[in-house]
């Protein structure tokens, strides 16, 4: 179970707790950060079978390998003592999966949960749909598999229901969706209740999507959300402070965490031309055009909209600290961004950091003439560019000359 936002990372146990706090049925679980705590948790569960899961953000845990020699980050057992022995080989050791760096990620916590059998798997999601100008429920009686594949091979098994955001999910809508998902008898009402609770969760936490796969039933007659993915609206951070405070940045690159301190969005790449841009779309276009001209971008650094001189300085500090960077390309389109602020930040950074790599600057938009004057009168070796194509060619050429 994972909650995803581009800049928000929550561990599985955190997302399960959020769902449980909103009345959604999940497996009973405890979190442990030592083998002894894991043993106590397993004993307190009093479950027929226990599942022990290493808590890291990367996927593929089940097939991962620990540097302790243990294989697999997910284990089933009926013996609490075995939980303790397994936890000893998990906590404090690195787990490597297909999605982690080569050396893996250190496991600091494990989740000790009740293992439940699933007699039937369905799919259920609530998402904001632009076409409907509001939330939509999507469900299928075929769960536990890739829903996109079901949509292609068996489109008749995909059920969609628009929700009036002012009225919420009506009882008849929830019951009809439960019926469409194949729940029968008493399970139908139970599933409908869970659907309504999931919608309440969706609204209260400002989610843009809540996807439960599988939304299953057990042989004992219980409807359970076994695994879920939740996307948040990052514009609602100001009123979801508790959730955003849970953000786990321990697995980020240190440079990403440093950038976040200054409201900079940074993603490291494997090239040698640093990209210093405002806006994610422009950043991606800049990376693309560098590649088209034979270069390789070293990063994706997005300044965003409300730029201050101090941010520009910190951005340059981050970029110049990367030994891979052999040139910097600044590509700013000043809509809400004042180009003069960028120019002042650039000159200050170049002077104080004693920039030693070529710098190519393309500015366009608000106060651009003043910005160009600031740069030209600075006396610094800054290469100006007329447009993005020109900037990319000059940046690539500056690296080639080196």
Residue stretches of the annotated binding site for substrate? 278, 335-337
Under 8 Å between Cβ of 217 and 224? yes
Binding-site residues, in ranges, read 27, 60-62, 116, 213, 227, 278, 335-337
**Residue tagged active-site, from 12, 13, 84, 123:** 123
Closest by CA position to 100, among listed 61, 135, 67: 61
Judge whether 266 counts as a catalytic residue. Answer: no
Binding-site residues for GTP, in ranges, read 27, 60-62, 116
Closest by CA position to 332, among listed 283, 289, 375: 283
Binding-site residues for Mg(2+), in ranges, read 213, 227
**Residue tagged active-site, from 84, 121, 211, 326:** 211
Closest by CA position to 124, among listed 191, 63, 185, 200: 191
For 10, other C-beta atoms within 10 Å of its C-beta total: 23
189 backbone dihedrals φ, ψ, rounded to 5°: -70, -40
Judge whether 123 counts as a catalytic residue. Answer: yes
- Residues ≥6 apart with Cβ < 8 Å to 87: 32, 34, 35, 38, 39, 52, 110
For 219, other C-beta atoms within 10 Å of its C-beta total: 10
Catalytic machinery residues: 123, 211
């Amino acid at each position: 179970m994972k909650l995803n936002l581009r800049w928000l990372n929550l561990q599985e146990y955190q997302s399960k707790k959020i769902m449980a706090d909103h009345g959604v049925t999940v497996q009973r679980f405890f979190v442990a950060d030592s083998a002894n705590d894991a043993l106590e948790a397993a004993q307190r569960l009093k479950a027929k079978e226990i599942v022990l899961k290493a808590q890291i953000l990367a996927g593929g845990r089940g097939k991962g390998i620990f540097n302790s020699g243990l294989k697999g980050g997910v284990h089933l057992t009926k013996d609490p003592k075995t939980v303790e022995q397994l936890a000893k080989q998990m906590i404090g050791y690195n787990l490597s999966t297909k999605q982690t760096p080569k050396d893996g990620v250190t496991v600091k916590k494990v989740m000790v949960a009740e293992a439940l059998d699933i007699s039937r798997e369905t799919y259920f999601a609530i998402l904001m749909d632009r076409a409907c100008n509001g939330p939509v429920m999507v469900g299928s009686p075929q769960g536990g598999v890739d829903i996109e594949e079901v949509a292609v091979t068996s489109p008749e098994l995909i059920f969609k229901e628009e929700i009036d955001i002012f009225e919420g999910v009506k009882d008849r809508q929830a019951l009809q969706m439960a019926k469409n998902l194949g729940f029968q008898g008493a399970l139908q009402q139970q599933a409908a209740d869970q659907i309504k609770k999931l919608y309440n969760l969706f609204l209260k936490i400002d989610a843009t999507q809540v996807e439960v796969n599988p939304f299953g039933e057990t042989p004992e007659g219980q409807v359970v959300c076994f695994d879920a993915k939740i996307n948040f609206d990052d514009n609602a951070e100001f009123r979801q402070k508790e959730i955003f405070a849970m953000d786990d940045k321990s697995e980020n690159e240190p440079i990403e965490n440093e950038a976040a301190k200054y409201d900079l969005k940074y993603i490291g790449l494997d090239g040698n031309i640093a990209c210093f841009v405002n806006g994610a779309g422009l950043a991606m276009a800049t990376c693309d055009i560098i590649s088209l001209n034979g270069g390789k971008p070293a990063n994706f650094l997005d300044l965003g909209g409300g730029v201050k001189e101090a941010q520009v300085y910190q951005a340059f500090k981050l970029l110049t600290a990367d030994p891979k960077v052999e040139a910097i390309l600044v590509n700013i389109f000043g809509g809400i961004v004042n180009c003069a602020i960028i120019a002042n930040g650039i000159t200050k950074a170049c002077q104080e950091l004693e920039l030693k790599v070529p710098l190519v600057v393309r500015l366009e938009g608000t106060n651009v003439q003043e910005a160009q004057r600031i740069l030209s009168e600075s006396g610094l070796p800054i290469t100006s560019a007329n447009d993005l194509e020109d900037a990319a060619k000059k940046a690539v050429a500056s690296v080639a000359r080196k």
